[in-house]
Amino acid sequence: MKEAQPRTVYLKDYRAPDYLIDHTQLHFELEPQATLVKSTLGVRRNPAAESSGALPPLWLDGVDLELLSVAINGELVPAQRYRELPGGLEIDVPGENFELEICTRINPQANTSLEGLYLSNGMYCTQCEAEGFRKITYYPDRPDVMSLFTTTIVAPPTYPVLLSNGNKVASGTTDDGRLTVTWEDPFAKPAYLFALVGGDLQWVEDRFTTASGRDVKLQLFTEAKNIGKCAHAITSLKHSMRWDEEVYGREYDLDIFMIVAVDHFNMGAMENKGLNIFNSACVLASPETATDAAFQRIESIVAHEYFHNWSGNRVTCRDWFQLSLKEGFTVFRDAEFSADMNSRAVKRIEDVTLLRTSQFAEDAGPMSHPVRPDSYMEISNFYTLTIYEKGAEVVRMIHTLLGAEAFRRGSDLYFERHDGCAVTCEDFVRAMEDANGADLQQFRRWYSQAGTPVLEVTDAHDAASGTYRLTIRQFTPATPGQEEKLPLHIPVAIGLLDDKGQDLPIAEDGSGTVILHLTEAEQTFEFNQVATRPLPSLLRRFSAPVKLRYGYSDAQLQFLMQHDSDAFNRWDASQRLALNALSELQAQYRTGVPLQTPEQLIAGFRSVISDTALDPALVAKMLSLPSAQELAEQEGEIDAAAIIAARAFTRDALADALHDEFMARFKQLDIRKPYAPNAGDIAERSLKNTCLAYLCANGTAQALDLARAQLDRAENMTDSAAALAALVEFAPESEATTHLQAFYDRWQQDTQVVETWFGLQSSSANYGTLARIKQLMEHPAFEFTNPNKVRAVIAGFSARNFTQFHREDGSGFEFLADQVIALDKVNPQIASRLVTPLTRWQKYREEEGQKMRAAVQRVMESGELSRDLFEVVSKSLSTR
């Protein structure tokens, strides 16, 4: 019942379970250091099991449990009939059907891994996905075992709120004055969707009437001090419920939907049936304390977890290799929801930025894996951008290939056919095919093939015949364990612009965008009646998760920035223009010549900044330079110093050349009005604050005064945080420190604002030095056992402060290695995520790469590692 040793699990070894659990009765007596868990299981031989003949022993997963007793059909089982083994319990069984009762003791207070049952600020809560339930009791902890759960919780009256999944069916007081509550979940579910909460909580309540007239009670539980921060999440929830009815025809299925906010949480949130548990940072918001970005993040995460009720809970995963079945689909669903609620183009830009910056880097690194992996050591390591974001792109491509109506027919069939079942990615694709008579045979390769495909596009125009030809070549670079790659079925959305910037009517219906089906390694597409050479707008809306290469000139990019009817590609053109300038500057830096002012980029940005016809949010995105991390991803061999120098130089050159434009636009947008987190206002604030950052980069006293004034009188966190960030980055250090102290004094009672405050310092290129990071870790508000604090301070530095983390002395790497080693003892999941930047050492220039590798090596040799950390570190050291 200790954790099992590192072993690799393979998809090809999947076997149906030998036994099913028809019903699961749980009885908890909550005690911080000695919680008693009694579980009563209705066990039945699985008729579909592959083992035949004699009854195999029953295997139950279990980790860090103290076994008290085992009984079968009401009689204690003697010790020689069961075996406590690493990772679980093996029991000899008396027949095909029996009732099994197991009593165990656990220690929630000592549980800092935040998996299973633990305490957060005195509140009991659980996190079971993926394999946390085995830290609560012995159980077949696998998603293809679905059971009806009844849960009784007994706790002292100091924990008046006792929650679990489903409906409350009984409550009372025990003889010794403790509270007892029983919950019954009428839907069969796998153990990973189980949840329990116990604490002294307050709540806000609302109602929602479903399309068919069911009245649903909505509750959001939190510590009393946060009760004023619940409104936005409740509104988001109601919007999500309505949207899923309208767009997918999916209604909520219980009479109550609860959300609980907890401060200690490894991830964003969790979709436990009827009882979602959220990281406080992903659910609590008020205008004074939360930024626009936080408001939008909350809206999308509330939606994501709610949408899981169908894509995840009613239809769940057969095994964890199928994780993207629920996650990719649900991310696609929440992205479309956010696009409908806000600006579609801006949402797409944000998602693609994340994909290109982080998923592409993952796909090019030692942990590269397909959307449906074929092996893993620790499943927690596979809650990745590939599973989530690339998985969502794969679903989006199906939507693009089939069209919206056909996609809906496919999802209807999928939900109907597999309701109440644990299924596979293959089942999803087949439903899409069967509902439409479609053929997605070649498309399936997207699920099994890792790596980011590259498209190389060339074109030719023949004026005499009026033909225009686009030739597209595709290839995917090798990834660890997958040398050979096959051509994929890729939807490439394109338009052709005439010399006025108008779309040629190339689609059958006369519109300007067509979807090319690229299926071969190289393919030529022909367009007729094209009199003059057009300018292609390629991969509109980012119709596939690929790297697209085409030899655009800077002038063509500026033309696309101004004229493309596809807003996404207008933005993309601005980014390509910036990338051209930045890679040129990196080359100059490397050869030691003086850096030259990027005139083309300045001209391009100038044309955008004053364009008042464009959505200001889009303008803000177009004026934003790719991050250092995104630039690094672009390079074959990363030269961190060159990236840092080129980027800072470019930013300063833009700040200088466009000072008057930035000032004019800032002044125009700097109007006082009551805060509302709607798309229009968010857009204006984002452009205003983008201008402010450039103005401050310029460093004039006048610009800094604007930031000081804004910090002084801002009534919302978006504007105060933006002003503070600009001052921290660009004001003299002593002044920055003074502002930070004042800000802290004002907000120290507010956990979410303190997290923002930490993050703003640790990620500041100028202010966030290693010495300062170490200081922040000594701050009384820092907590090594709280993932949000660790992420804000340590990951703020290692993952978002490229400049300081990559200092040439390698001190950043050594620091991170130290923190990872220490964290692994506290919280393996967080340690394993935090080490990521170091594990990509292979891509860096020799000297720096070797320093990073040495840090990884030191982690490896530091003693016994968790399975989580061992997997990522060993894979990093074994790739070249």
Name the residue nearer to ligand 7MK (CB basis): 268 or 480.
Answer: 268
Name the DSSP class of 122: T
**Does 269 help bind ligand 7MK (rule: CB under 6 A)?**
yes
Question: Across the chain, which distance is largest between two alpha carbons, in Å?
Answer: 96
To the nearest whole angstrom, how small is the minimum distance from the Cβ of residue 754 to ligand 7MK? 23
Residues 629-668 within binding reach of ligand 7MK (CB under 6 A)? none
Stretch that binds ligand 7MK, among 263-271, 340-348, 411-419, 659-667 (CB under 6 A): 263-271
75 phi, psi to nearest 5 deg: -120, 135
Q: Which is nearer to ligand 7MK, 270 or 792 (CB)?
A: 270
550 binds, among ligand 7MK, Zn ion, none (CB under 5 to 8 A by kind): none
Give which of ligand 7MK, Zn ion, none residue 631 binds (C-beta under 5 to 8 Å, depending on kind): none
10 Cβ contact list (under 8 Å, min separation 6): 374, 375
Q: Does 304 bind ligand 7MK (CB under 6 A)?
A: yes
Burial class (CB in 10 A: 0-12, 13-18, 19+), 270: buried
Which window, 11-19, 54-62, 261-269, 751-759, contacts ligand 7MK (CB under 6 A)?
261-269
> Is 305 a binder of ligand 7MK (CB under 6 A)?
yes
What is the three-class DSSP state of 314? coil
Which of the listed partners (ligand 7MK, Zn ion, none) does 525 bind, with a CB threshold of 5 to 8 Å by partner kind? none
633 neighbors 607 (Cβ within 8 angstroms): no
Q: In 10 A of CB 370, how many CB atoms?
A: 23
Shortest distance, position 253 Cβ to ligand 7MK, whole Å:
18
Least separation in angstroms between residue 763's CB and ligand 7MK is: 20
Please identify, using beta-carbon distances, which residue of 271 and 630 lies nearer to ligand 7MK. 271
Q: Whose CA is closest to 119, among 39, 217, 58, 35?
A: 35
Taking the complex as a whole, the smallest distance from the CB of residue 759 to Zn ion amounts, in Å, to 23
**What gap in Å lies between CA 816 and CA 794, rounded to an integer?**
8
- For residue 376, the SS3 value is strand
Q: Does the protein bind ligand 7MK through residue 354 (CB under 6 A)?
A: no
- By a kind-dependent CB cut-off of 5 to 8 A, residue 64 interacts, out of Zn ion, ligand 7MK, none, with none
Among 188, 201, 267, 692, contact with ligand 7MK (rule: CB under 6 A):
267
* 379 lies in the site for ligand 7MK, by CB under 6 A: no
Question: Judged by CB under 6 A, how many residues of this single chain contact ligand 7MK?
Answer: 12
Q: From ligand 7MK, Zn ion, none, which one binds at residue 267 (CB under 5 to 8 Å depending on kind)?
A: ligand 7MK
Pairing of strands 375-376, 422-423: unpaired
Q: Closer to ligand 7MK at the Cβ: 425 or 494?
A: 425
Stretch in the footprint of ligand 7MK (CB under 6 A) among 303-311, 340-348, 749-757, 800-808: 303-311
Kindly report the number of other CB atoms within 10 A of residue 574's CB atom. Answer: 27
14/383 with CB nearer ligand 7MK: 383
Binding-site member from 42, 94, 268, 287 for ligand 7MK (CB under 6 A): 268
Residues ≥6 apart with Cβ < 8 Å to 287: 675, 677, 715, 716, 717
Binding-site member from 208, 383, 525, 784 for ligand 7MK (CB under 6 A) = 383
Cα–Cα distances in Å, from 829 out to 374, 688, 726, 832?
A: 21, 38, 33, 5
Cis-peptide into 130, omega within 30 deg: yes
**Catalytic residue selected from 29, 223, 305, 362:** 305
The first and second tokens of residue 847, run together, are: 């000297």
Task: Select 396 or 485, whichever has its Cβ closest to ligand 7MK.
Answer: 396
x/- mask, ligand 7MK, residues 211-250, rule CB under 6 A, reads ----------------------------------------
Cβ atoms of 796 and 845 closer than 8 Å? no
Q: To the nearest whole angstrom, how small is the minimum distance from the Cβ of residue 674 to ligand 7MK?
A: 33
**Angle 863-869-875 from CA coordinates, rounded to 5°:** 105
- Of Zn ion, ligand 7MK, none, which one sits near residue 383, judging by CB under 5 to 8 A according to partner kind? ligand 7MK
Residue 722, binding choice from Zn ion, ligand 7MK, none, Cβ under 5 to 8 Å by partner class: none
Determine if 271 is a binding residue for ligand 7MK (CB under 6 A): yes
Provide the minimum distance between the beta carbon of 331 and Zn ion in the complex, in angstroms, as a whole number: 7
DSSP string, 50-62: S--SSPPPEEEE-
Residue 155 CA to residue 414 CA, distance in Å, equals 42
Residue with structure tokens 């069916």? 169
CB 753 within 8 A of CB 289: yes
Q: How far is the CB of 307 from Zn ion (least distance, A)?
A: 8
Residues binding Zn ion (CB under 5 A)? 327, 330
- 305 is known as an active-site residue: yes
131 forms part of the interface with ligand 7MK (CB under 6 A): no
> Around Cβ 95, how many Cβ atoms within 10 Å?
11
129 vs 363, beta carbon nearer ligand 7MK = 129
Q: Which does 270 bind (CB under 5 to 8 A by kind): ligand 7MK, Zn ion, none?
A: ligand 7MK
Cα–Cα distance for residue pair 517/472, rounded to 1 Å: 11
d(CA 697, CA 609): 17
* 99, 41 Cβ separation under 8 angstroms: yes
Could you give phi then psi for residue 455, rounded to 5 degrees? Answer: -110, 125
Torsion of CA 314, 319, 322, 323, to 10 degrees: 70
Which of residues 229 and 304 has its CB atom nearest to ligand 7MK in the complex?
Answer: 304
- Considering the complex, state which of residue 330 and residue 569 has its C-beta at the smaller distance from Zn ion: 330
> Is residue 129 close enough to count as binding ligand 7MK by CB under 6 A?
yes
- What does 763 interact with, of ligand 7MK, Zn ion, none (CB < 5 to 8 A by kind)? none
Neighbours of 510 (CB within 10 A): 7
For residue 294, the Cα-to-chain-centroid distance in whole angstroms is: 14
In the complex, residue closest to ligand 7MK by CB: 267
Site string for ligand 7MK, 325-344 (x = CB under 6 A): --x-----------------
Strand partners, 123: 120
* Interface region with ligand 7MK, contact rule CB under 6 A, candidates 300-308, 479-487, 542-550, 627-635: 300-308
Give least dist CB 831 to ligand 7MK, A: 16
Residue 304 beta carbon to ligand 7MK: minimum distance, rounded to whole angstroms: 6
User: Of the candidates 716, 699, 718, which has an alpha carbon nearest to the alpha carbon of residue 766?
Assistant: 699
Piece in contact with ligand 7MK (CB under 6 A), picked from 23-31, 301-309, 431-439, 745-753: 301-309
Task: Tell me how far, at minimum, the Cβ of 331 lies from ligand 7MK, in Å.
Answer: 8
What is the closest distance, in whole angstroms, from the C-beta atom of residue 330 to Zn ion in the complex? 5
**Per-residue CA distances from 809 to 245, 851, 852 (Å):** 56, 9, 11
302 binds ligand 7MK (CB under 6 A): no
From residue 491, alpha-carbon distances to 406, 540, 638 in Å are 16, 10, 31
Full 3-state SS string of 90-119:
EECCCCCEEEEEEEEEECHHHCCCCCEEEE
| Euclidean distance between CA atoms 330 and 388, whole angstroms | 8
Output phi, psi for 7, to 5 deg.
-145, 155
Taking the complex as a whole, the smallest distance from the CB of residue 357 to ligand 7MK amounts, in Å, to: 16
Catalytic residues: 305
Residue numbers at the binding site for ligand 7MK (CB under 6 A): 129, 267-271, 304-305, 308, 327, 383, 388
